[in-house]
């Protein structure tokens, strides 16, 4: 069988580095942060590691990647090319 993803609206931010207040605003109390020297993004700049309390796991978030809050409140990273192929701006947000 083949399946089609249901159309849903998600919240997402693109991590460009340094704006930890943006992560605070986006994630609320559902996250913590630690520097991640081994998480590299474009131009070998450092990303961050985000603790996803809901799923009880660490998420590597390289620079330029998107952080998505799913319909259940879970957080997950998404590569820019996958995000661009999957999502478009919602006119109501």
pLDDT tens, per residue, the chain with 93 residues: 998 888 888 999 999 888 888 888 888 766 665 555 555 444 445 677 787 777 788 888 888 999 998 888 888 899 999 999 999 888 765
Report the C-alpha gap between 3 and 20 in whole angstroms: 37
Report the C-alpha gap between 29 and 63 in whole angstroms: 22
**What does pTM read for this prediction?**
0.76
Model pLDDT, residue 32: 60
Q: Which residues are CB-contacts of 46 (< 8 A; sequence separation ≥ 6)? A: 17, 35, 36, 37, 39, 40, 63
Model pLDDT, residue 55: 78
């Amino acid at each position: 069988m083949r399946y089609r993803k249901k159309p849903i609206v998600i919240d997402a931010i693109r991590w460009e580095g340094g704006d930890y207040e943006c992560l605070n605003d986006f994630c609320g109390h559902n996250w913590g942060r630690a520097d991640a020297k081994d998480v590299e993004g474009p131009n070998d700049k450092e990303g961050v590691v985000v603790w996803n309390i809901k799923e009880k796991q660490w998420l590597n978030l390289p620079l330029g990647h998107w952080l998505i809050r799913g319909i259940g409140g879970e957080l997950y990273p998404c590569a820019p090319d996958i995000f661009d192929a999957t999502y478009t701006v919602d006119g109501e947000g």
